[in-house]
Amino acid sequence: MKRFMQNIRKVVPYVPGDQPDFPDMIKLNTNECPYPPSPAVEQALKQSESDQMRLYPDPTAHALNAAIAKAYGVEECQVFTGVGSDDVLAMIFLTFFNDNLPVLFPDITYAFYPVWCNLFRIPYAVQPLNDNFEIDPKDYEKPNGGIVFPNPNAPTGIAMPLASIEQILTHNPDSLVVVDEAYVDFGTPSALSLLSKYENLMVVQTFSKSRAMAGMRIGFAIGSPTLIQALHDVKYSFNSYTMNRTAIAAGAAAVQDAAYLKETTGKIITTRERTKAALRKMGFVCTDSKSNFLFVTHPKLDAHALFEALRAVHIFVRWFDAPRIRDYLRITIGTDAQMDVLLSFLNDYLKQRGI
Ligand SMILES: *Cc1c(COP(=O)(O)O)cnc(C)c1O
């Protein structure tokens, strides 16, 4: 083989959920919000001027970082923003996970973590969830080069109590512990309340799910000024202008509208609980999801066959070809009307099979 071919960095990329585009589809496969972003976002977009586009954006994304700092009661020097939390997490892996000891994360979790480890050549060791699909804090009391997990976890939706996160933090004073709070706004207490107590904690959140802005690509990390400075140093060594003008303006507007966030997430939580109850009545087994999706299995159904049947009628959900969870479907919470179409399809599907 030619040397330049041998020198190619070989990676197995992350596979994101499909982005189908049918006018009649019910898209419940990538945990997007079924409602629009805050009206304040539309206002900010109207005011953004295209003649400003010739100028580079503010590399510090000051307007956005300051708005996030204010909304979460921290200093601006404690905020790092990126192009979605995927960008923020990738920067965190690159900046902080540089040990010979393995980074620890669960076996069933966000599938991007092992991809970044492989890309950046970071050793890692997965820690199996227990039989109830819960993270056991005791699994994170071994020597490690860092710890990362989502809370609530994905795709199980199961949340860990803050006391368990504290147990992980206190047992790992020498490790950075990253809590990926992509779904925290759907009813889980944030680990941000632990920040003042633990210098080894970093919390990551996103505008993609609860703030209905997946297409705008905004994520952020909050941590100590020292850790955030380290992240900025790496970012400015890579690409100074990650946050574009529109994202800075739209994000700043969105984060100031706390009332709207509460209203939309409240609606989604209500729909989630109603759908969960209806599915359980049909014999589905659901985890106690605290996110904007359900993780369900049915003892008498083949999950992949059901996934295909749903797809045929343009109802898109997620099925993972992965050990332990092949019998499960992950279903994003849509509007009440969308969930009613799903439930009615499932009702007929079960009836046709005499279940
Ligand atoms: C959706 C998601 C992310 C990334 O979202 P972005 O759109 O890149 O902000 C990160 N972690 C988890 C667990 C997620 O589900």
Is it the case that residue 52 has pLDDT exceeding 90?
no
Which residue lies with its CA nearest to atom 2 of ligand 1? 182
Is it the case that residue 50 has pLDDT exceeding 90?
no
Q: Is the dihedral of CA 333, 335, 340, 341 positive or negative?
A: negative
Q: Is there an atom of ligand 1 within 6 Å of 85 CB?
A: yes
pLDDT in tens, 218-245: 999 999 999 999 999 999 999 999 999 9
Phi and psi, residue 150, nearest 5°: -85, 145
Atom of ligand 1 lying closest to residue 209 CA: 1
Give the pTM.
0.97
What's the mean pLDDT in 99-121?
98
Return the pLDDT at 201.
98
Q: Is the dihedral of CA 59, 239, 221, 96 positive or negative?
A: negative
Is it the case that residue 15 has pLDDT exceeding 90?
no
In angstroms, what is the span from residue 125 Cα to ligand 1's centroid? Answer: 21
80, 121 contact by CB (below 8 A): no
Which residue lies with its CA nearest to atom 12 of ligand 1? 182
In angstroms, what is the span from residue 182 Cα to ligand 1's centroid? Answer: 6
pLDDT band at 109 (very low <50, low <70, confident <90, very high): very high
In angstroms, what is the span from residue 158 Cα to ligand 1's centroid? Answer: 16
Return the pLDDT at 351.
97
C-alpha dist (Å) from residue 310 to 22, 259, 291, 313, 325: 14, 35, 22, 5, 18
88, 220 contact by CB (below 8 A): yes
Atom of ligand 1 lying closest to residue 150 CA: 13
